[in-house]
Structure 1
């Protein structure tokens, strides 16, 4: 806390000194340049009455008594006054012209003032005035000591709660670095440090999510790879021991199937890990939905597939364009279509709707459906449900997790409900329309 206190304290003190002794005088000099005429006139007005009274007093006396009278009057003034002839004055021509015109000549920024006495050739002078200022060195010292003390107290009052909040963030960061991934910085939203605490908490949430995801992925990968690797090991043993040509060919085909399954699993794992780790560069734009979905269905469903499909587009021609990222939305919808194909009996359908700014796509199948208690859990990675939705029908439990991630990039969501066809309805929605 000492470093923060002294840094802020000395910054304030040096700022005050800078304003007092550098910026203030500089502004004064600039003001004098721009207000010079006004300052001269101000000094004339201040001296006008005194000059007039002295002149009236002198003009009542013979001229040879004027200097004696000035000497008598001088003690009554707090500054020097004198009577001079023009030849004694070392003034600029401008000042001499002012005197002969009956004006008051202001010299040395008001330190000296001169005025001609009546119609005579004598000039009455006043000043200098600088010696009249009181000695203020000790007083200024006391004032500055008081200012530094007050600034120190106010700084301390401000810095103590500020430091405590910094300590909370520092303590949370240290604990997080030591492995306590549940710790967060508890700072009031009204605090000036709230953005820092929010950034730390957001970072901590993300890191904790990545660590948990890494643990889940590691555990799941070891579990998922165990079965195909066991089958590969068993197949290799059978291939080595079998002498029958047909059996060896059969085991070779089984090995090829297992290798293909491993390749698909690794590809799916890498895709999920990439999507879970970072957000790719997304190319959002407005695209027509009907041709996009027709092409996607044609690419996802082979001609020899026994499952029939229908698409119902409830959008008119003027509202058929929605904002989305075509590459990744196609990946998400492709996963949903493959999911529907695996579990449908004979039929699936795609329905496109608009609800205000929301674009909604329903994918229905006539399969066994998904029980309501499992509808949230099914989006967790590596989650498989009952036997009707097992890996024997394809998939590794990552497809819907990937769909969920892609819809989050679109600020949307994916939900599961009962399909009017009797199976499961998977609905994706996102703010795809501007109005």
Structure 2
């Protein structure tokens, strides 16, 4: 919008200057200036003519000229003029005086030969005053037209945005607005495109969640159906108890699955407000790792982090992100996991590596998507949501999650990259 403000300001200033200059040129009438010079010349000639007559004959001669040439030149004593001394001296100069009264402007001039008298000549009213209203209307019309010109591209972009929103609302979810560096609404257009991308991603994930849930829940439902039929057909109490125990485990599996899916769905729809705080990274990682001690078993976890490093993030969500990756590493690691941290290019890198089988190169992007499970590890517990949550937490922090392989341990390596 800054570009729009500057354009409107520049247009307003330029249009005022140009229109004022144009209208002043129209309003200034050269004929009036010539008429004024002619009036001065006529009065000067009349003075020269009367100066050749005695004082007692000048009034009569002036009356004769007025009647003969249809003039209206007055003859009066200088004492009738209430003028200061400097202005009285100008009466005898060539240009004389131009005075004004309630009737308009008039010329006053005298010569020593008039014996303390002067001549007056009424000037015609300027004709331009009759066109003041027209010139005013022309000025405002021209100004409105000039201000409308920079608004033409704005209205076009707004129309484009409205049409794009209408198409998007009708189900054409691939609708986007092509950016233009000359547009006044670049920020609005980027916001629309970003909103469209987010809606597309949300719909795609919801569709994927629905299809994954319908696919994954079939197995426990089939087991429950089989167990129920077996209980109804069995007459042995011990067999019935075994079937009921198995059915209870299937129900627990379904409950865990639904809880995970609903938790992820709620996470997708929440407007998360991060609570940033600073903390020393080394003790923070120690505390996060201690929460997983019951799951370690024979796997050793090493933390390689300088005591001088600080982390600035939402510590709750970052801890959940690290725990998800550690839980995933514990599932595949053989004997050890290494957590390391370092800074690079004004970014904090937190790396979690294990000595497990690693993530195939062709799957390193897919594992960050929700509900994705590698074909080699589908028998493991989980629903493919842990890394998807980590990826989303990093996006909230304006960071990213990288998936690679550990050069030292040979297994998978997940790196959290946060801006410092």
Q: TM-score, normalised by structure 2?
A: 0.72
Q: Which runs of 5+ in 2 are unaligned?
A: 1-11, 28-36, 91-96
Map of 1:41 onto structure 2: none
1:47-70 CA distances to partner (integer Å, 9 max, x unpaired)? 999877766665554323333455
Instruction: Give 1:298 shift.
Output: 0.8
Superposed, 1:54-133 pairs within 5 Å as 58=50, 61-68=53-60, 70=62, 81-85=73-77, 95-97=82-84, 101-102=88-89, 104=97, 106-108=99-101, 111-114=105-108, 122-130=117-125, 133=127
Instruction: Give 1:238 shift.
Output: 4.4
| 1:99–1:105 Cα contact (<8 Å) kept | no
In the alignment, the residues of structure 2 paired with residue 79 and residue 274 of structure 1 have an alpha-carbon distance, to the nearest angstrom, of 99
In the alignment, the residues of structure 2 paired with residue 239 and residue 46 of structure 1 have an alpha-carbon distance, to the nearest angstrom, of 127
Map of 1:401 onto structure 2: 388
* Count of aligned pairs between the two proteins: 377
| 1:99–1:114 Cα contact (<8 Å) kept | no
Superposed, 1:408-427 pairs within 5 Å as 408-419=395-406, 420-427=408-415
In the alignment, the residues of structure 1 paired with residue 66 and residue 251 of structure 2 have an alpha-carbon distance, to the nearest angstrom, of 118
Is residue 2:344 matched to residue 1:355? yes
In the alignment, the residues of structure 2 paired with residue 287 and residue 360 of structure 1 have an alpha-carbon distance, to the nearest angstrom, of 15
Shift of the 265–171 alpha-carbon distance from structure 1 to 2, 3 Å rule, reads same
Map of 2:323 onto structure 1: 334
1:175-231 CA distances to partner (integer Å, 9 max, x unpaired)? 333322223334533234555544433333222222222211211121122223333
| 1:358–1:431 Cα contact (<8 Å) kept | yes
In the alignment, the residues of structure 2 paired with residue 233 and residue 418 of structure 1 have an alpha-carbon distance, to the nearest angstrom, of 43
| 1:367–1:422 Cα contact (<8 Å) kept | yes
1:359-387 CA distances to partner (integer Å, 9 max, x unpaired)? 11111112121111111111121111133
Q: Give the superposed CA RMSD.
A: 4.5
Shift of the 346–134 alpha-carbon distance from structure 1 to 2, 3 Å rule, reads closer
Q: Which runs of 5+ in 1 are unaligned?
A: 1-11, 29-44
Is residue 2:258 matched to residue 1:266? yes
Map of 1:374 onto structure 2: 363
1:104-129 CA distances to partner (integer Å, 9 max, x unpaired)? 47324972354676595534333243
Map of 1:365 onto structure 2: 354
Shift of the 83–374 alpha-carbon distance from structure 1 to 2, 3 Å rule, reads same
Map of 2:417 onto structure 1: 429
- The secondary structure found in structure 2 opposite 1:393 is coil
- The secondary structure found in structure 1 opposite 2:291 is helix
